[in-house]
Chain A
Amino acid sequence: MASLLSLDCPLPQLEFDRILLGHGSGGLLTNKLLETGVFDLLNNDWLAQKHDGAVLQLEGPVAFSTDSYVVSPVFFPGGNIGELAVNGTVNDLAMCGADARYLSLGFILEEGLLMTDFWEILLSIRQACAAAGVLVVTGDTKVVERGKGDRIFINTTGLGPIHPQARIHSNRVLPGDKVIVSGPIAAHGMAILSVREGLEFESSIQSDTRPLKEMALRLLDTAGEAIHLFRDPTRGGVATTLNEIARDRKVGFRLWQRALPLDEVVAAACEILGLDPLYVANEGIFIAVVDPAVEAAVLATLHGLPGGSQACTIGEVTDEHPGQVVLHGLIGGKRVVGMLPGEQLPRIC
């Protein structure tokens, strides 16, 4: 967490060092918070109007997505809830083949949240928006009593036009399609766990949160309709995402354990805790299910983009074992990778 001195946009002089209930009541305090805080950092023509909503001009098919962010802890290695909230919705739109342009930003703040923390999150939101090429055009701030919120909850909703060549739909997934992942798996979940549980690894595990828009749109430029599906494997990891597709489309997936990209330290952390990386959350990678004819071109494109250097094919779609994801192990065995009933829990001994 940055100190006041190290923030690159200094916290304005305010009479309060914490969020108070009055900040959500719409009166003077709210104005103070927004005027000297939020609008300063996130200024643009729409926010400058301070209207109840933003009027946008969009043509053609548009993707629309919403997500809420309740991650705890709010600050973690590699990021914080602010950039997660921006990247998460930008990425959901990217998975639809859309170029995220506009976001709404809703805060639910717990009374007592430190202004320095709120400011740092706002700064991260600003930076993440700039990196992802999106604008926050409308928003809302509410404050709840101490004890009724976990410091800060954020909702972002996003809009963006669909790429002209995008024909992304789960019903286009066919046996023979290749399953490509854009980068190493399990980093985000293990980063959160390492902070939450105070586990000390010599190398800190960083969350992989990043916007996936650029990679997704470039792939659509390269391969267009041959991209059958994009999905980002957030909660529940790669295994859960593929299982959802398998059940929905009644196809099977074949995965090769030797092909799964995994950072050494993340792998070691999973080993110690007895967690299967296939079920650990990700925030900065996506899965592309593509026509086998474009596999090489897709990989080449990803390898040339930031965040895509470790992209690789991890499996394929099959008409055998419909509805099931089967992992081909390192030593020649096979096992079904099913859905977990709840959260994966670390082993005891």
Chain B
Amino acid sequence: MLLPNRDKIIIRCTLYTARVYEKPNRMKFLNEYRDPELVEQYLQELHECTTRPWSIMEVCGGQTHSLVKNGILNLLPPPINMIHGPGCPVCVTPLHLIDKAVYLAMEKGVILCSYGDMIRVPGSRMSLLEAKARGADIRILYSPLESVRIAQELPDKEVVFFAVGFETTAPANALAVLQARTLGLRNFSILTSHVLVPPAIEAVMNDPEARIDGFLAAGHVCAIMGTEEYVPLVERFQVPIVVTGFEPVDLLQGILMTVRQLESGQAKLENAYSRVVRPEGNLPARSVIAQAFEVADREWRGIGTIPGSGYELQESLAAFDAVKKFEVPLEKAPEDPSCIAGLVLKGIRKPRECPQFGKGCTPSTPLGAPMVSSEGACAAYYYAQV
């Protein structure tokens, strides 16, 4: 039982602000989707139907971690090469935004609220965690709504929430801003680092070095946004895209459906996570996003600017945009040249192919974000010693 005694479950945490799981009957989802016998069957089928090498990208960092953590990478038939995608929002948050956050906390005395993972990522001077040790008021929160509450309780302090994430966390961040507006708060703002999946897929496919045959789309992102925006990508690039979940059986099912398409020369959008994902997504969540955010160009750390690939707060909510609210006189610092995060995020290199992997770059001494984030490919490989 995932959560006891509810038919419809509202999960109050960083992920969802609207109903995601609807279960008329209580089922042990997790156990079923981790069933060793089912896994064995899927693997068997994969072994039987795979006749050629295929490179499949799983977009989401959570999927990468599940593949590594569950040992699935070693169980797949050798011709299948899983390429790890840029679906790690912490990894792609630009260096200068981290520097801004550190600056606001250290020099402007704001209460900087952040999701846990973000605080370990190195900025050009220091990480938020190091800033905390030097006296900055950095608070790790599970939900952005918490930061609104802090702003309410401490009207004389500026509160900034580091709003990082893909589309999945956008509804919660939007709600936070809208709530702050309703409450008439003047001391609350967000530092936005929202990125979108479909433009990332497009950027990967447009990169001449990337060789991806098919995609596993990110299940939780699609839970919010639906699946319609992937159809143009399928048509333009003629690649299978299968919306996939995170449990071992989910991943194997997604991979199998992709391989079946590839083996038969098809390219279409399929949904292997239909227990959670509807074609239209989650309409209340999408409505909340639309009230607060608009699509804008965004810089991806290690990759560069991808047009139309992120969210910015709408002009009417400019008072809640920390970038517009605070003057931050910082030069854009260069990245550590020895970090190949961009190549890893686009799937052009595997973490082990980085000369610094495990030597100059470890989770305690990271050179870049993928080694630090719980959704980063480098961290996944390092911890599992793959």
Residue of A nearest to B383 (CB): A338
Q: Which residues on the A side are within 8 Å of B330 (C-beta)?
A: none
Cβ of A342 < 8 Å from any Cβ of B? yes
* With contact pairs A331-B36, A332-B36, A332-B75 given, residues A346 and B383 touching in the complex (Cβ less than 8 Å): no
Per the bound structure, the CA–CA distance linking A264 and B11 in Å amounts to: 17
Residue of A nearest to B118 (CB): A348
- Mark interface residues in B1-17 (1 if CB within 8 Å of A CB, else 0): 11111100001111100
Instruction: Contact check, B39 vs A332: say whether CB atoms are below 8 A apart.
Output: yes
Residue among B15, B30, B146 making CB contact with A349, cutoff 8 Å: B15
Cβ of B69 < 8 Å from any Cβ of A? yes
- Mark interface residues in B348-365 (1 if CB within 8 Å of A CB, else 0): 000000000000001110
Q: Which residues on the B side are within 8 Å of A199 (C-beta)?
A: 12-13, 142
Instruction: Contact check, A347 vs B62: say whether CB atoms are below 8 A apart.
Output: yes
Cβ of A271 < 8 Å from any Cβ of B? yes
Instruction: Contact check, A346 vs B142: say whether CB atoms are below 8 A apart.
Output: yes
Q: Which residues on the A side are within 8 Å of B119 (C-beta)?
A: 345
Residue of B nearest to A265 (CB): B4
Which segment of A41-49, A71-79, A200-208 sits at the interface?
A200-208
What's the least CB distance linking B304 to chain A, in Å? 23
Instruction: Contact check, B1 vs A335: say whether CB atoms are below 8 A apart.
Output: no
- Mark interface residues in A5-40 (1 if CB within 8 Å of B CB, else 0): 000000000000000000000000000000000000
Per the bound structure, the CA–CA distance linking A227 and B375 in Å amounts to: 40
Cβ of A268 < 8 Å from any Cβ of B? yes
Q: Which residues on the B side are within 8 Å of A346 (C-beta)?
A: 14, 115-116, 142
Within 8 A of B (CB), among A247-264: 264
Cβ of B120 < 8 Å from any Cβ of A? yes
Residue of A nearest to B67 (CB): A333
Per the bound structure, the CA–CA distance linking A340 and B2 in Å amounts to: 26
* With contact pairs A331-B36, A348-B90 given, residues A203 and B142 touching in the complex (Cβ less than 8 Å): no
Instruction: Contact check, A349 vs B62: say whether CB atoms are below 8 A apart.
Output: yes
Instruction: Contact check, A349 vs B14: say whether CB atoms are below 8 A apart.
Output: yes
Residue of B nearest to A335 (CB): B384
Q: Which of A198, A203, A274 has the most CB of B within 10 A?
A: A274
Cβ of B169 < 8 Å from any Cβ of A? yes
What's the least CB distance linking B20 to chain A, in Å? 11
- Mark interface residues in A300-321 (1 if CB within 8 Å of B CB, else 0): 0000000000000000000000
Cβ of B328 < 8 Å from any Cβ of A? no
Residue of A nearest to B143 (CB): A197
- Mark interface residues in B48-84 (1 if CB within 8 Å of A CB, else 0): 0000000000000010000011111011000000000
Cβ of A60 < 8 Å from any Cβ of B? no
Cβ of A334 < 8 Å from any Cβ of B? yes
Instruction: Contact check, A349 vs B89: say whether CB atoms are below 8 A apart.
Output: yes
Instruction: Contact check, A336 vs B385: say whether CB atoms are below 8 A apart.
Output: yes
Cβ of A272 < 8 Å from any Cβ of B? yes
Interface residues of B (CB under 8 A from A): 1-6, 11-15, 30, 34, 36, 39-40, 62, 68-72, 74-75, 89-90, 115-120, 129, 140-142, 146, 164-166, 168-169, 220, 248, 362-364, 374-375, 382-386
5 A-B pairs with C-beta separation under 8 A: A198-B146, A200-B12, A203-B4, A330-B36, A346-B116
The 10 closest A-B CB pairs, nearest first, are A333-B71, A345-B116, A349-B168, A341-B364, A336-B385, A331-B39, A335-B384, A348-B115, A341-B363, A331-B36
Taking A274-B374, A332-B36, A333-B70 as given, write out 17 further A-B residue pairs in contact, using a Cβ cutoff of 8 Å, ordered by the A residue number: A199-B142, A202-B5, A203-B4, A272-B11, A329-B70, A331-B75, A335-B69, A335-B70, A335-B385, A338-B383, A341-B120, A341-B364, A345-B120, A348-B115, A348-B164, A348-B165, A349-B168
